[in-house]
Amino acid sequence: MKKPSLLDRHLLAANKKEIQLIERRLFLKGTFSMGALALLSGCDLADNETVNRMLHGMSRFNDEIQAKLFDVTRLAPEYAPNMITQPFPFNAFYARDAVPIVDASTYHLELLGLIRDKKSWTLKELGELPQVSQITRHVCVEGWSAIGKWGGVRFSDFLQRIGADTTARFVGFKCADDYYTSIDMATALHPQTLLALTFADKTLPTEYGFPMKVRIPTKLGFKNPKHVMAIYVTNTYPGGYWEDKGYNWFSGL
Amino acid sequence: MKSASTTKAVVHSWPVRLTHWVNALALLVMVLSGWRIYNASPLFDNFRFPETWTLGGWLAGALMWHFAMMWLLIFNGAIYLFFGIITGRFAKRFFPITKAQLFTDFRLASRLTLKHDAGTYNTIQRIAYLGAIALIALLVMSGLAIWKPVQLQALANLMGGYEGARLTHFVAMSLLVAFVVIHVFMALITPKILLSMITGNATIAANAKSSPSGSNIPSTESGDAL
C-alpha cells in the first residue's frame, strides 16, 4: 500500500474521529446482518443458499478429517457369539416386501473401471475363494446399532486378485435395488471389509442383501450396500444414494 | 446506586464475553440439531422431541448442522479454557470451594438471601459453572465416541462402548439443558448480571474487587439479594 503523503496524513488526523465513526458504523452493520441471520428460524436458515453451501463445505471438510483419522490397521471391535442381536433389524429405503429377489443361478458380479481382469464372477466362484468371518457392530446413521455375524471374501484379497488399481481413490457399488454407494480405497483395503456371502453362518438372507453384501464395520450402515451387482474402481467421485441427498460421504466409524 | 463503597469495574473481560456468547450459539445449534438426530432413533421408546423445536429439517440436515457446529463448540471451548487457566481467572473466580462455605450458601439460598453479585461467584454458582464446563467436556467426549467408535475405541470404551456413549451423551445433554434453563432464569431476574456479560461492566462493592474470595462478603451496599 502507498504510504500516505504529508497532506494525506494531515487530512487523516483532522478527520480521525469521523473516519472512526464511519468504520464503526460499517462494522456494526455487518454484525447486525449476521445477528439477523442467526435469528431466522431453522427452516429459513436451511433454505438459505449461503448457509447451505457452508454446511456442505463443512461436510467435505469432515470427509478429509475422517480420512486422516482412518487407520487401516485399526480393527473394529469383535464380539462373542452370545452378544449377537436377535432378531437383527431389517432396514432399507423400502418396506420388507419390496426387497429385490436376485436369481442365484444367473447372478454375475460385474467388474468395471480401473481393474485389470474384468471377468465377471458367479456366486459359486466367489464361494470357492478363501472365506473369513467376523462378529461386529453395525451402526446406523439413525443412531441404533446391532451386532451380527458376517462371512465372506476379504475385499482386499479380492481387489488384489482381480488386479484393481489400488492407487485409485474410490470404489463404487451398484445394487439390484438401484441403490448405489462408494467408499475410499483405504477403507476398501481394510482387513475387515468383506464381500459378505453369509449371515449368522447361513447363506445371506434376502432381506440382508442376498446374494452379496459389502460388509464394512468401519463405516455407517448405509455405506454397507446389499444385493451388490457391480463393483467399479475410479478416480471420479461416485457419490451415493443417501450421500447425494446430503448425508456425509465418508461416514467412517 | 453510586456511593463511597461501590465502584464500577470490568467484571468480564472481552474474551470471556465473546467465548460465552459464541458458546451459547454453538450449544443452541448443537442441542436443537441433536434433538432431531435423537428423534431418528429414540433411545427411549416413548420419548421424542417436538419436531418444531428441532433444527435441520430432517436427519441429514440435522447431522450437517451438528457436525459443522461441533468444530466451533470445540475451538471456542478450547480458547475459553486456555484463557481461563493462563490468566488465573478460573483459580480466582471458581476456587476455593469449601464445604463450610457451601453449607452457608445453601442456608442463605434457602432463605432467598444468597448474594448473586456481578464479578464474584457464590459457592453454588462456582459449582454450577464448573459443572456446566464439565458437562460440555463430557458431551464433546461422548459425542466423539459416538462419531468414531472404531478409530477412537479407547474413548468409546471409557464411555461404556457405543451404546454407553449414546446414553452418556443424552444424560449430559439433559443436565446441561437443565443448567441452561436455571442459568437463563437467574440472568433474567438479575438484569445487572446479564448486562455485565454483554458490556463487561458492573457496579460492584468496592471491597469485592480486592477480595481474593468474594463468595460471601457481608455487604448490604450493593447487589440484589436473592
Grid coordinates given for B143: 459425542
Given A37, A66, A95, the domain boundary residue is A66
Residue B1 maps to a domain: no
pLDDT in tens, A157-169: 999 999 999 999 9
**CB within 8 Å: A69 and B151:** yes
Determine phi and psi for B84, rounding to 5 degrees: -65, -35
Are A62 and A135 contained in the same domain? no
Are A88 and A58 contained in the same domain? no
Side chain identity, residue A183: I
pLDDT score at B210: 41
Residue in A closest to B55 by C-alpha? A42
Closest-CA distance of chain B to residue A228, Å: 24
Helix and strand totals (H; E) in chain A: 7, 9
A62 neighbourhood in chain B, CB within 8 Å = 67-68
Where is average pLDDT lowest: A68-72, A138-142, B67-71, B104-108? B104-108
Closest-CA distance of chain B to residue A55, Å: 6
Residue B93 maps to a domain: yes
Given A50, A66, A82, the domain boundary residue is A66
Residue A97 maps to a domain: yes
pLDDT in tens, B18-35: 999 999 999 999 999 999
pLDDT in tens, B107-124: 898 888 888 877 788 889
CA distances from A77 to A134, A135, A150, A216 (A): 10, 8, 14, 12
* CATH number of the domain encompassing residue A173: 3.90.420.10
> What number of other Cβ atoms are within 10 A of residue A229's Cβ?
21
Are A83 and A46 contained in the same domain? no
* CATH number of the domain encompassing residue B140: 1.20.950.20
DSSP-assigned states of every residue in B183-199: HHHHHHH-HHHHHHHHH
Our count of domains for chain A comes to: 2
pLDDT score at A8: 58
- Number of A:B CB contacts under 8 A? 78
Residue B217 maps to a domain: no
Instruction: Please identify which residue in the block is written with the cell numbers 423445536.
Output: B53
Side chain identity, residue B121: Y
C-alpha span between B141 and B151 (Å, rounded): 13
pLDDT in tens, B178-219: 999 999 999 998 888 888 899 998 887 765 544 444 344 433
A75 neighbourhood in chain B, CB within 8 Å = 150
C-alpha span between B192 and A244 (Å, rounded): 50
Our count of domains for chain B comes to: 1
**CB within 8 Å: A56 and B64:** yes
Average pLDDT (A158-187) is: 97
- Closest Cα to residue B118, out of B221, B179, B195, B184? B195
pLDDT in tens, B23-69: 999 999 999 999 999 999 999 989 999 998 999 999 999 999 999 99
Q: Does residue B46 come out as left (phi exceeding 0), alpha (psi in the -120 to 50 range) or beta? A: alpha
pLDDT score at B111: 86
pLDDT in tens, B152-172: 999 999 999 999 999 999 999
Given A66, A90, A108, the domain boundary residue is A66
pLDDT in tens, A90-121: 998 998 889 999 999 999 999 999 999 999 99
User: What single DSSP character describes residue A81?
Assistant: G
Are A193 and A106 contained in the same domain? yes
pLDDT range class, residue B225, cuts 50, 70, 90? very low
pLDDT in tens, B75-103: 999 999 999 999 999 898 999 989 899 88
Domain that holds residue B130: 6-210
> Contact, B66 vs B34, CB < 8 A?
yes
pLDDT score at B207: 57
Residue A1 maps to a domain: no
B27 neighbourhood in chain A, CB within 8 Å = none
Are A55 and A139 contained in the same domain? no
> Contact, B10 vs B198, CB < 8 A?
no
Q: Give the nearest partner residue to B61 out of A71, A242, A246, using CB atoms.
A: A246
Residue A215 maps to a domain: yes
Question: Containing H/E element for A193?
Answer: none
Q: Does residue B221 come out as left (phi exceeding 0), alpha (psi in the -120 to 50 range) or beta? A: alpha
**CB within 8 Å: B38 and A143:** yes
Grid coordinates given for B186: 437467574
Are A55 and A82 contained in the same domain? no
Instruction: Please identify which residue in the block is written with the cell numbers 461416514.
Output: A251
pLDDT score at B10: 86
pLDDT in tens, A31-79: 333 444 444 444 455 568 889 999 999 999 999 999 999 999 999 999 9
Average pLDDT (B124-146) is: 96
Residue A250 maps to a domain: no
C-alpha span between A7 and A5 (Å, rounded): 5
pLDDT score at B202: 85
pLDDT score at A35: 41
Residue B14 maps to a domain: yes
Closest-CA distance of chain A to residue B189, Å: 23
Residue A253 maps to a domain: no
What pTM was computed for the model?
A: 0.83
Are A157 and A195 contained in the same domain? yes
Where is average pLDDT lowest: A5-14, A88-97, A191-200, B105-114? A5-14
User: What single DSSP character describes residue A252?
Assistant: B
Domain that holds residue A124: 74-245
- Closest Cα to residue A201, out of A125, A148, A128, A141? A148
Side chain identity, residue A10: H
Where is average pLDDT lowest: A13-22, A82-91, B141-150, B180-189? A13-22
Closest-CA distance of chain A to residue B176, Å: 21
Grid coordinates given for B150: 472404531
Q: CA angle A100-A104-A107, nearest 5°? A: 85
> What number of other Cβ atoms are within 10 A of residue B183's Cβ?
16
Residue B219 maps to a domain: no
